[in-house]
């Protein structure tokens, strides 16, 4: 089992879209995959066709009120499961800020999952903020995926994720070793800007950037409103083919790259990084 946090402190970069569709494509390819929705907006939950309901989310598990077996939902897609979110997940920020033990519960939950649900991959859809939930998710994951939109200021969000990873690991690493890769999203073939941004990011980060680029697509934007990943909503479309290609590239990287599991100390609670 490998745990990937899908994170960017900027909103509207295709983070949840990528979490849903990469997970769905890996499941389609035969890999048991679990998507954990940690965003109070619950877009990953509704994007897979579920209605966010109070008391039926990852929050209840972290509070100890329900077991993970009670909360994980099988989806309409074989080998793809969801641990949903709800508005009350916003309370995790308060709980984690006040309680070191509560911060450690996410790590402990993730490490207990192979016994209950033997998934090959787990993706954490993080909230688009620099709060303690995002920080704790990054610290609890084995590696981090950063979706980056093909627009100006794209590197802003990446810089903050770098900073978190460096403060949680080796501050001299640039880029941090647990940054698994950067995924360029919302590529508009009609503009020179998109191509310029991709070239700029590749110049800065080299092989950390996935070769696959996700296009801007009306059908991709529509799919969540129908509660479907793009491979179910528009299976032969350009966006579906792009995410299938991304999943294949992801698997090649997993086979080639050694992923370092977070230190065991994280299980006792993760401290919030400070920003100077």
The pLDDT value given to residue 210: 96
| pTM over cut 0.85 | yes
The pLDDT value given to residue 68: 86
The pLDDT value given to residue 49: 96
Is there a contact between 2 and 26 (Cβ–Cβ < 8 Å)?
Answer: no
C-alpha–C-alpha distance, residues 89 and 40, integer Å? 5
Q: Where are the domains positioned within the chain?
A: 2-255
Buried b / exposed e across 185-214, counting CB within 10 Å, b at 16+? bbbeeeeeebeebbeebeeebeeebbebbb
Give the closest residue to 251 by CA, choosing from 198, 199, 212.
212
The pLDDT value given to residue 262: 45
Q: Which two tokens stand for residue 40?
A: 């109070």
Containing 74, the helix (H) or strand (E) segment is strand 73-74
What are the 10-residue block averages of pLDDT along the chain, 276 residues in total? 90 93 98 95 96 90 86 94 91 78 81 78 91 86 92 75 77 74 90 87 89 95 97 97 98 80 39 33
Q: How many CB atoms lie within 10 A of CB 230?
A: 28
Q: Which CATH class is domain 2-255?
A: alpha beta
The pLDDT value given to residue 258: 59
The pLDDT value given to residue 15: 94
The pLDDT value given to residue 275: 26
């Amino acid at each position: 089992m490998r745990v990937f946090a899908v994170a960017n402190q900027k909103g509207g970069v295709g983070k949840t879209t990528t979490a849903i569709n990469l997970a769905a494509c890996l499941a389609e390819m035969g890999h048991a995959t679990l998507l954990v929705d940690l965003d109070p907006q619950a877009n990953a939950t509704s994007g897979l066709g579920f209605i966010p309901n109070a008391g039926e989310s990852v929050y209840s598990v972290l509070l100890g009120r329900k077991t993970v077996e009670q909360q994980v939902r099988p989806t309409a897609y074989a080998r793809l499961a969801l641990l949903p979110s709800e508005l009350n997940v916003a309370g995790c920020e308060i709980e984690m800020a006040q309680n070191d033990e509560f911060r450690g519960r996410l790590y402990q939950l993730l490490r207990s999952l192979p016994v209950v649900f033997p998934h090959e991959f787990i993706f954490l859809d993080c909230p688009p903020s620099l709060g303690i939930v995002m920080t704790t998710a990054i610290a609890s994951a084995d590696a981090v995926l950063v979706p980056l939109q093909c627009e100006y200021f794209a590197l802003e969000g990446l810089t903050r994720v770098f900073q978190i990873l460096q403060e949680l690991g080796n501050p001299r690493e640039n880029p941090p070793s647990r940054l698994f890769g950067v995924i360029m999203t919302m590529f508009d073939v009609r503009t020179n800007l998109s191509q310029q941004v991709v070239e700029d990011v590749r110049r800065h980060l080299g092989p950390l950037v996935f070769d696959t680029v996700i296009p801007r697509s009306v059908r991709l934007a529509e799919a969540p409103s129908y509660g479907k990943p793009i491979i179910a909503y528009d299976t032969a479309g350009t966006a579906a083919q792009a995410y299938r290609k991304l999943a294949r590239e992801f698997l090649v990287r997993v086979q080639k790259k050694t992923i370092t599991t977070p230190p065991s100390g994280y299980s006792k609670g993760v401290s919030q990084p400070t920003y100077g």
